[in-house]
Amino acid sequence: MNDQNSNSLSASLMQGQEQADAHQQDVSRDLKRQSKEGYSATDDEPQKHDGNLCEHDDGIHIKPLLKDVGETLTSEDIEQHKHWMKHALMLADKAESIGEVPVGACVVLNGELIGEGYNTPITDNDPSAHAELLAVKEAALRVQNYRLIDATLYVTLEPCSMCAGMLVHARVKRVVFGAKDAKTGAAGSVMNLLQHPALNHQVEIVSGILADDCANKLSDFFRKRRKEIKAAKKAKKLIESGESD
C-alpha cells in the first residue's frame, strides 16, 4: 500500500472513530436525562394500545403480547428481574474493565442461568459482538438448541435492531432491559422489532428494571472516556509544542 492510500485509509478510520464517539456522547446525554427523569422505553408509547401497556412500581413497565393483555408483574417477579439484572450489571463491569462500552446480558431458563455475555466488539474486532448475541450463543450451546423457547434475556441496555432480530429468530420468550437507548433502541424507543406484527414471533418486553443503575453506569463510562480523550489531546499538544521549541 503506497503512502497516499495509507494516509487516506488512516483519515477514513479517524473520521469513523470521531463519528462513533459523537454518537456515544449523544447516547450518554440521553442516558443522563433518562436517569434524571426516571422513564423507560415504554413511556413514550401512544395511548392507542388500550391496556396493552401496564405500569408498575418504580418506573417498571411490562409490554406483553396481545394475547396476554392485562398480565401484571408480581412483587416476586420484580425481585427476580432485579436479581438477574444485577448479574447483567456485573457482566457490564467486565466489559468496562477491558475498555468496552459497559453492557452485560444473561439468559435465564426455568430460574437457571444458561448463558451470559458482555460487549467485546472492539476487543474482538467484531461489530456483532454485542452482549445479547454472545449470551444467546452461549445459552443455545448449553441447551443444544438454536431455539430458546421460554427463556428470558436480561440486558442492561435496550437491544439494538441487530440483537432484536436475533432474539426473534431465537424465539426468546421475554426481554428484560434496564436503560433506554433513544438512538438505536429496537424494543420501543426508535422502533419495536421485538413485537413487529409482520414477524412470525413476538417477544414480551419488560423495561425499567434497575434503570438508574444501568443508565448511570453508561453515563459514568462515557464521562470518564471523554476526560481521558481530552487529557490525551492536551498531552499531545504539550509534546508537539515542546518539539517545536
Contacts of 41 by beta carbon, 8 Å cutoff, 6+ apart: 61, 158, 177, 180, 185, 187, 188, 189, 205, 207, 208
pLDDT of the residue at 242: 74
pLDDT of the residue at 44: 37
CA dihedral of residues 178, 179, 181, 187 (deg, nearest 10): 20
pLDDT of the residue at 59: 64
Query: Nearest Cα to 105, choosing from 179, 17, 53?
Result: 179
**Maximum Cα–Cα distance for the chain, whole Å?**
74
pLDDT of the residue at 22: 54
Contacts of 216 by beta carbon, 8 Å cutoff, 6+ apart: 31, 35
**Residues lower than pLDDT 50 in the chain:** 3, 5-14, 34-57, 66-70
What gap in Å lies between CA 199 and CA 193, rounded to an integer?
8
The catalytic residue positions are 132
Specify the DSSP class assigned to residue 200: S
Q: Can you read off the three cell numbers belonging to residue 163?
A: 440483537
Q: Can you read off the three cell numbers belonging to residue 112?
A: 437457571
Q: Can you read off the three cell numbers belonging to residue 227?
A: 476526560
The length of the chain in residues reads: 245
pLDDT of the residue at 43: 38
Q: Identify the three-state secondary structure at position 1.
A: coil
**H helix intervals, 70-160:** 75-97, 121-124, 131-143
